[in-house]
A and B are shown apart, each in its own frame.
Chain A
């Protein structure tokens, strides 16, 4: 069964450093998403992406964040200058169509020291 994959599973970084989280969505999916879950809190939407453009972004997704689909398979989330409060699980998701179910990857645990 096709699945969303994410690398790395755990990323530790120093405050102020840039990190890139990588995702490989399900191959025939066209819509891509990033969510995050801070420990003990809800899963929160960050951004959705379609046709090489951001469709929607939340208040969390400020200028420190960017997304990119650098090739036909990867979808990345970049945090330019990490803050302590960026520590969270980051989940990538994809869906085949606009209204279809979103399937999630296993997540990347980001720890900012």
Chain B
């Protein structure tokens, strides 16, 4: 099941620069997208979300962009900080279906170098 894909397993960025994490999806029923950050031995921590009626949502250093026609979303982190080093998961849901299950991508490990 590859409904949500993160094609880059890892990304290395210098502190202060922009980190761009990408995510693609195939299910056109998805209408709500989320990014979670995960440290080892911890649960996913919610970062930012976007509804399909928008194409951009911003929260501090984090911005999520949604391109519905391309079925693609991205997370921009500016400026990147060493504490941002973690695994980032995108997730999608189709809340109009019962249960509101999230479908996760495989994750991208971000390493921010000081």
Our count of residue pairs bridging A and B at CB distance below 8 angstroms stands at: 63
Report B-chain residues with C-beta under 8 Å of the C-beta of A31. 100
The answer to whether B32 touches A99 (Cβ under 8 A) is yes
Which B residue sits closest to A44, measured CB to CB?
Answer: B104
> Which of B15-23, B42-50, B57-65, B78-86 lies at the binding interface?
B42-50
The answer to whether B43 touches A91 (Cβ under 8 A) is yes
Q: Which size bracket describes the interface of B in this complex?
A: 20 to 34
What does DSSP make chain A's interface, helix, strand, loop or mixed? strand
**Does A58 count as interface, using CB distance less than 8 angstroms?**
yes
**Does A65 count as interface, using CB distance less than 8 angstroms?**
no
Residue interface mask A77-105, B partner, CB < 8 A = 1? 00000000000000100010011011111
The answer to whether B43 touches A42 (Cβ under 8 A) is no
**Does B108 count as interface, using CB distance less than 8 angstroms?**
no
The answer to whether B100 touches A103 (Cβ under 8 A) is no
- For A6, A33, A101, A107, the residue with the greatest tally of chain B CB atoms inside 10 Å of its CB is A101
Report B-chain residues with C-beta under 8 Å of the C-beta of A95. 100
Which B residue sits closest to A47, measured CB to CB?
Answer: B99
Q: How far is the CA of A104 from the CA of B41 in the complex (A)?
A: 13
Q: A45-B102, A48-B101 are in contact. Are A91 and B44 (CB under 8 A)?
A: yes
